[in-house]
Amino acid sequence: MNDWNNTDHLFEGTTAIVTGSTRGIGAVIARQLASVGSSVVISGRTVEEGEQVVDGINEAGGDAVFTQTDVRDPDDLQQLTETAISEFGGIDILVNNAAFETDTNPDEVDLDTWNAILETDFRAYWLTAKYAYPSLVKSDHGSIVNIGSNHAIATQPKKFPYNALKAGVDGMTRSMAVAWGVDDIRVNSVNPGWTMVERIAEELTDEQLAYLDRIHPLGRIGTPEDVADAVLFLVSDLAGFITGQCLVVDGGRAAVLQDDLYLGDHNLREP
């Protein structure tokens, strides 16, 4: 069993791919994996940002390379897995993270937008896992984490088709877990809620952030580190008997049924 209190070399000798890791949650996941010993392949469309993440990891004593990847291009995804094998000898961990969303209702989405989100948020998860599978089979620590969203279980207006595809990611996770469990490959999802990434930090006013903090039972919205910690747990031996599961990381937000009642009761309990 791993000693979770001493994580410096927890993933020594492993190789991880993190898609969409030039910024935001993906970059933090990559840094966290590198900090505990995993060699990491950074991927994304922006070369400058990718190289900055790699430089930061390598300067901190980790081991990382960048490969420019458009996850809508199957050839790029094939090259991504081949880079991990050629640079580091194999693939032990795959984190499917690259995704985007639009503020649209079902009647507002055109076919081009539908295809773009489908290929990025859903098809790329399957294809990257498919291409990584032959190497993951050979690993003693084969694990996949698909980054989903709490929109898979409850949603807001104007989040289609993002919410539908994130629900699909959870279904994909279960299918992969059932199919590849015999190969000793574990597959799980991490479904974040509100998370303080760059875009959210730029858009929210102080008043809006204070309100969001209050409607979370733990009193704050999440950080990319919260999501990364959940990923590290799921790919570690501590989760060695966990597969096919969808872990919601949202500070208890999904447990709240009605905000006004929750806040009213919360105010009554405040000193």
* Cβ atoms < 10 Å from Cβ of 68: 16
Q: Are 109 and 102 in contact (CB under 8 A)?
A: yes
Q: Give the Cα separation of 139 and 134 in Å (integer).
A: 9
Q: Find out whether 52 and 31 touch, Cβ atoms under 8 Å.
A: no
Catalytic, 162? Answer yes
Question: Is the dihedral angle over the CA atoms 39, 41, 47, 52 positive or is it negative?
Answer: negative
Residue pointed to by tokens 């698909």: 146
d(CA 235, CA 180): 15
Residues 6+ away with beta carbon under 8 Å from 127: 74, 77
From 125, 133, 162, 262, the catalytic residue? 162
| Terminal Cα distance for the chain, rounded | 43
Are the C-beta atoms of 65 and 83 separated by less than 8 Å?
Answer: yes
27: left (phi over 0), alpha (psi -120 to 50) or beta: alpha
Q: Which residues are catalytic?
A: 162
